[in-house]
């Protein structure tokens, strides 16, 4: 049973399209996150939600909109995709210290 699962694993799409990435955790954690890993492998926090409430919203274009329907799910919707959005996006969850990451969604914008 995967602790933090993301779908899809790969996403190839054209510039200008809108796409969503879904994340679910079965660990009972209160907090969920979206991180972006660029081509140089740098991991940067984008958003965090604690009990469905937005806590962190880093300097991310407003084309990116997270949605947390419940504590176990955090989805990421991206409008008007640009070439620079190509990256690996990781969902993570945490509870008192331990952070668990999903296996990532590789987004390629062509």
Partner 1 sequence: QQQVKQSPQSLIVQKGGISIINCAYENTAFDYFPWYQQFPGKGPALLIAIRPDVSEKKEGRFTISFNKSAKQFSLHIMDSQPGDSATYFCAARVYQAGTALIFGKGTTLSVSS
Contact residues for partner 1, defined by CB under 8 A: 4, 30-31, 33, 35, 40-45, 48-50, 53, 55-56, 90, 92, 97-104
- Least separation in angstroms between CB 55 and partner 1: 3
The SS3 of residue 73 is strand
Dist CA 81 CA 15 (whole Å): 5
- Least separation in angstroms between CB 8 and partner 1: 14
Dist CA 72 CA 2 (whole Å): 13
> Which residue lies nearer to partner 1 by CB, 89 or 109?
89
> Which residue lies nearer to partner 1 by CB, 50 or 86?
50
- Least separation in angstroms between CB 101 and partner 1: 4
Contact 19, 107 (CB under 8 A): yes
How far does the chain reach from its first CA to its final CA, in angstroms?
34
């Amino acid at each position: 049973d995967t602790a933090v699962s993301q779908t899809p694993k790969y996403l190839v799409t054209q510039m200008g399209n809108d796409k969503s990435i879904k994340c679910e955790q079965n660990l009972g954690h209160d907090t969920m996150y979206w991180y972006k890993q660029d081509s140089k492998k740098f991991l940067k926090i984008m958003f965090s939600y604690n009990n469905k409430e937005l806590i962190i919203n880093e300097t991310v274009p407003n084309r990116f909109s997270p949605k947390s329907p419940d504590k176990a799910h955090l989805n990421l919707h991206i409008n008007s995709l640009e070439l620079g959005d190509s990256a690996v996006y990781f969902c993570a969850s945490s509870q008192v210290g331990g952070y668990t990451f999903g296996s990532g969604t590789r987004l390629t914008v062509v």
